[in-house]
Amino acid sequence: MRIKVLSDNRILSPELKKEHGLCIYIETEKYKCLLDTGASSNFIENAEKVEVDIPDIDYVFISHGHSDHIGGLDAFLQLNTKAKIIISQNALSQRFYSSRNGMKKISSDIDFTAYKERFIFVDSEIVLENEIHVFPCTTFHFPMPKANKTLLKENGNGLLSDDFNHELIISFGENEQVVYTGCAHCGILNILDSVKTTINKPIKVLIGGFHLLDGIDNQYETEKEITDIAERIITEFPDTKFYTGHCTGEKAYSLIKQKLDSAIHWFYTGFVTTIELN
């Protein structure tokens, strides 16, 4: 499996564009996929520079309805005429807002009606290519990220706290899994637990944001809470390698890194890796 990050908050090469968004390309011998589409069309320009052919993509998986993950979808659909779009219906039927640093809308206003035959809506587990599992978070034994408190939704009943009924988990692999979290708004431990419960195959790699933001005055998770998360991860998933970026704060990453050591790495726009799956 070949993985290339096409959009993220960070870059190493000035030739690429960064943004507050996430888009990751995955390629195997059987299929070519995008995991989210970033906040804009930046991922398309970056794709050309890292040799990704956008018209040749087979699937797009949208992890949730926030604009930093779905904002580039319209630009993608104008270039690619064949890919299926896998998404929760709740991602399009609700409007999303953030109160962090002032109230702002964080959902897409684009009308995708013209492409409706290409959408596959997910409300429970589906399986594609006999090895791609897509499903919502199913277990909530652990706290959700504290930064979720700034996120709201509107579904005809006024503004409510976002419960992330639009967030999906995507897992690839027949015998070993590569799991994509998007932003892990449901909580990284809940996502890991859901994958274990739903599929129960070894997780070789997990990639995506953890939504553990760096705040001031213990605004979000405390150092102990982050350390506790890391300790549970290393205890229950000692053979899993983690790649994170986007909505994982640098302080949170540093604390997790102290526990996971070489099992966790940053990704960034232009990051490339190859994973051997059994």
Long-range contacts, stretch 142-146, CB < 8 angstroms, 24+ apart: 142/187, 142/189, 142/190, 142/193, 143/187, 143/225, 144/185, 144/186, 144/187, 144/190, 145/184, 145/185, 145/187, 145/210, 145/211, 145/212, 145/213, 145/220, 145/221, 146/219, 146/220, 146/221
Edge-to-edge, what's the strand order for the sheet holding 32-35?
Answer: 119-121, 84-87, 59-61, 32-35, 23-27, 2-7, 272-274
The amino acid at 174: E
Structure-model confidence comparison of residues 251 and 156, the more confident one: 251
Which residues fall within 8 angstroms of residue 81, CB to CB, at 6 or more apart? 55
For residues 194 and 191, what is the distance between their CA atoms, to the nearest angstrom?
A: 5
Report the DSSP beta bridge partners of residue 203: 177
Give the CATH number for residue 112. Answer: 3.60.15.10
Which residues fall within 8 angstroms of residue 2, CB to CB, at 6 or more apart? 25, 26, 27, 28, 272, 273, 274
pLDDT at 101: 85
For residues 199 and 209, what is the distance between their CA atoms, to the nearest angstrom?
A: 21
pLDDT at 12: 85
pLDDT at 215: 80
Which residues fall within 8 angstroms of residue 156, CB to CB, at 6 or more apart? none
pLDDT at 217: 66
Q: Mean of the pLDDT values across residues 193-201?
A: 95
Residue span of the structural domain in which 229 resides: 2-274
pLDDT at 63: 98
- Residue 218's pLDDT band (boundaries 50, 70, 90)? low
Q: The pTM is what?
A: 0.97
Q: How many domains does the chain have?
A: 1
If 0-12 CB within 10 Å is exposed, 13-18 middle and 19+ buried, where does residue 192 land? buried
